[in-house]
Structure 1
């Protein structure tokens, strides 16, 4: 709950002060007091704007984040003498975290004594991480470049050793016809398609959320309030429509912080999505969500939040009051919408493309589906009489969602297994778990067993029988796929690839193809057999990569082309397998930034970025054995487009051979 509050605080800070992003509510300075030839006192002083406050280093755990100093090279060039002391602080009880928090107002002064271990040291770097709050909280970093001798601070240029230079230069290719990469003859279908797909998923999630006990009963109550409390019918309708608009706006605003993360580092969200331990965390969270839907406990935000928003809606009135009413709905319905939104977030990390943009599209779809009934029923109030009554069917909806949450949870655990090369959740095990889940769902829907929050046992409805029948059909489909009777193309990208199997396979490449997972080895073979190269930048956790392999590469027009006419080089940019010590190195970009290369994925991700100025997967490039670009690069395209692209590359390669 603490980190959810921090997330929401960060979102409000970002959305309300976006146009003032360069303004810092605290101004920092530092000075140095020389005590002796080897001892110094460093003083860091912050002037805090009115109404804002900065948290102490020693504020209690369980509340807001404390300030934290990082002294570079401490223990090597110098040692810290005692703890960092602080000026006078204020301690107050927090209703949000229910703990006493300690913070500074107007001014914060930190003092740290150091003793030099190396007399020649005359400058050090100190980083301060802190959280500054005024109704909302903003995390900040402040870098202090401290000169001990009074001269201007000169940052030492970071360099890499000779071995790293050699290994780093080996990643840079001497590509010919590189301009062809951007000629755009072949359309990439991925972006727009995914955006509408995510919007559709969000809209579907919103429709499902409407059927939950946290939202459904609110529809007639809220619509009646707007239509009956307004003196004019037109005003009531206008207020209901405005209420719906604010619902959409609130869910859209929740996605804005992800755009900020993406602007800091274009690859940060992709890195997060393929992080092993974050995928494990997603697994735990989704299991937690699932059991809340099963009725073992309820997820709720602090009731004080809803009370404050409700009071604000009554107090301010007008359009602003309606906004607070919409915010109250978002808070009180969190126990049902939170897990669904979590699933939406999970879906955006699994989809290709700009994660932040995908999430915004999904959030707008979700908010729109929630908002539509309030506007439509206000326009046509007679429709309210046709609404079904609240009842046990809403509990059934929650349980079905719980099983879907569990299925998605194991997808994230499978991602961690694939990326980490654990070899635990092979394709058969993954499918077996899904089969068990959907068989259990079927048994529940037909009343074989029940959950704690189920009401009295009643006759099964037609809808429940129909969904149970669908669950039986899906379970059968999974069993046929497990037995290799069918190919599970409808699930492309969700189960582990077919070559990630318990049984021995002839190839560890997609579809049993021959492939190389090292670029230099693949190029050497292409030169030997005089064939062009299909360079495939892919990922273990890349859903669209699996879709391309299982739906496009498997096509009878595509498969022979890849198998017989090209040398396939598949480079996994999310592979967390550690490189041998002799192959680890520091890569220095032209900008001077240094990146440590320790894993297979880091190596090929850097290789893709510096040579092709791309960071997405799937990403396909056609090369001749002497590294001539044969065509523009493509990503997620359909079968006909991909066939035309492959044949065009072959034609250009053969023409160049005859010149």
Structure 2
């Protein structure tokens, strides 16, 4: 809805010049930006005058998601790869939730909370387990709601997430959150959260304590949670958001369930100490890596991949060699060192290093010329058309990750390669898109023997694209 401000004495027929620019995106593809201008003829009535509603038929029906046909060009093989990636991500989030229990704001509360459960359960059946269970369900409810809201809110960004200004703002927020994990500034816990956390007893009280636990521990776990919220918002999938934060809550709550069942195990927990500060710094490096992840698609060439890899490698080496905070606890220190070694290994694995091929080099593409494209297709040779735009992040990912892969580049070297620029939606760009049935970018079409062999819409990994090529 729009608001039009008029002078108080404006009465009678009027023409309003209206211009609307919009761009539709899903998680894999964007339609071109579309600007529509029109003159809206209307009549301005004096204040308090009777009026009649017009054009009600235009607003009688509501467009729903079910009425919109979306094609992502995927297949079962790609879906299986995505499912594996999601599973690995959830496993990582679960262990991150476990690790957050080792931060200074959470770890000292574990024996106190379990002791509170034991005191409350003296005259109740079921011992402390059901109180711990209610506590964990409270945590899970709070975080699951946050995850769903973040995903739904993220859907509102649409093409805004393609903007360098929006991505730059996200990167700055993540870096600021990382700074808090290194002690440069601190979250403050609201007083109402402290009061609510200890206000009630019994099952209901345990549930309420769980509901506000995230606020009480915000100085330590807040930065990581906000970073994860940003990532979930960028995905824009409410189901993914729910499971991501439900899994995080299960990781946070697992120690309470175990200690609620075996209360004697509380005495075996390590003593609080500086090692908990070291845990916070591990999460600080993770937040910096998340900032690099968001910045990577906006950087030229392989710089984004190098930045992410360097962040993990240098951050891991810093924690492994220079900052050995917490080494007074040998057992915890070994776990911390293992985590930092994993960071370094993952960073080296993500580095866009030439591994035995001619990869890492960008292919040369010809600009679109109708005669040249028609001649190449009619000649029966292998032809690839890449419809792309400067504002299209998945288009850059195809260039940097898929087309630059050594195996893909070796095959495409024998193709006639044409890149069709859809950045500006002028008559020529729309005509070419219409000719080949292209509705959005990225769209890649491969021809052989004078006919279309396949097309993809959206980003596709090099492994899957390589198997498609004739």
The normalised TM-score by structure 2 is 0.70
Q: Contact 2:387 / 2:444 at 8 angstroms: preserved in 1?
A: yes
Aligned position for 2:186: 298
Q: Contact 2:293 / 2:308 at 8 angstroms: preserved in 1?
A: no
Partners of 1:291 and 1:242 in 2: how far apart? 34
The answer as to 2:93 corresponding to 1:202 is yes
Deviation at 1:191, TM superposition (A): 4.6
The answer as to 2:363 corresponding to 1:513 is yes
Secondary structure of 2:413 counterpart:
helix
Alignment length, in residue pairs? 423
Aligned position for 1:388: 270
Q: Contact 1:310 / 1:324 at 8 angstroms: preserved in 2?
A: yes
Secondary structure of 1:120 counterpart:
strand
The answer as to 2:408 corresponding to 1:533 is no
Aligned position for 1:364: 246
The answer as to 2:131 corresponding to 1:239 is yes
Partners of 2:269 and 2:394 in 1: how far apart? 39
Greater relative CO (CA pairs within 8 A, separation 6+):
2
Q: How does 1:127-138 map to 2 (within 5 A)?
A: none
Deviation per CA, 1:172-219: give whole Å up to 9, x if none. xxxxxx999979686544553443244234223212212211222222
The answer as to 2:141 corresponding to 1:249 is yes
Deviation per CA, 1:52-82: give whole Å up to 9, x if none. xxxxxxxxxxxxxxxxx9741x3xxx32xxx
Q: Contact 1:216 / 1:390 at 8 angstroms: preserved in 2?
A: yes
Structure 2 vs 1, CA of residues 534 and 361 (structure 1 numbering), >3 Å: closer, same or farther?
farther
Structure 2 vs 1, CA of residues 458 and 641 (structure 1 numbering), >3 Å: closer, same or farther?
closer
Aligned position for 1:217: 108
Partners of 1:277 and 1:362 in 2: how far apart? 27
Secondary structure of 1:512 counterpart:
coil
Q: How does 1:466-485 map to 2 (within 5 A)?
A: 477=348
Secondary structure of 2:414 counterpart:
helix
Structure 2 vs 1, CA of residues 283 and 261 (structure 1 numbering), >3 Å: closer, same or farther?
closer
Deviation per CA, 1:321-359: give whole Å up to 9, x if none. 322110221111112222112232344466xx6543332
Q: Contact 1:535 / 1:569 at 8 angstroms: preserved in 2?
A: yes
Partners of 2:461 and 2:306 in 1: how far apart? 27
Aligned position for 2:411: 561
Secondary structure of 1:526 counterpart:
helix
Partners of 1:629 and 1:370 in 2: how far apart? 52
Partners of 1:239 and 1:286 in 2: how far apart? 35
Q: Contact 1:621 / 1:632 at 8 angstroms: preserved in 2?
A: yes
Aligned position for 1:494: none
Structure 2 vs 1, CA of residues 564 and 281 (structure 1 numbering), >3 Å: closer, same or farther?
same
Deviation per CA, 1:531-576: give whole Å up to 9, x if none. 44354668878579748963686253x434333246354768xx7x
Secondary structure of 1:567 counterpart:
strand
Partners of 2:458 and 2:468 in 1: how far apart? 11
Q: How does 1:9-408 map to 2 (within 5 A)?
A: 71-72=3-4, 74=5, 78-79=6-7, 114-116=8-10, 119-121=12-14, 147-148=45-46, 150-154=50-54, 188-189=79-80, 191-230=82-121, 231-232=123-124, 234-258=126-150, 260-261=152-153, 268-307=156-195, 309-310=196-197, 313-314=199-200, 318-348=202-232, 354-408=236-290
Q: Contact 2:317 / 2:340 at 8 angstroms: preserved in 1?
A: yes
Partners of 1:120 and 1:366 in 2: how far apart? 60
Partners of 2:305 and 2:453 in 1: how far apart? 39
Secondary structure of 1:412 counterpart:
helix
Q: Contact 1:290 / 1:406 at 8 angstroms: preserved in 2?
A: yes
Secondary structure of 1:255 counterpart:
helix
More strand by share: 1
Q: For the pair shown, which has the larger CA radius of gyration, 1 or 2? A: 1
Q: Contact 1:246 / 1:326 at 8 angstroms: preserved in 2?
A: yes
Structure 2 vs 1, CA of residues 545 and 320 (structure 1 numbering), >3 Å: closer, same or farther?
farther
Q: Contact 2:105 / 2:220 at 8 angstroms: preserved in 1?
A: yes
The normalised TM-score by structure 1 is 0.52
Structure 2 vs 1, CA of residues 434 and 637 (structure 1 numbering), >3 Å: closer, same or farther?
closer
Deviation at 1:620, TM superposition (A): 4.6
Q: Contact 1:190 / 1:636 at 8 angstroms: preserved in 2?
A: no
Structure 2 vs 1, CA of residues 346 and 121 (structure 1 numbering), >3 Å: closer, same or farther?
closer
Deviation at 1:644, TM superposition (A): 4.5
Deviation at 1:631, TM superposition (A): 3.9
Deviation at 1:381, TM superposition (A): 2.5
Partners of 2:283 and 2:224 in 1: how far apart? 8
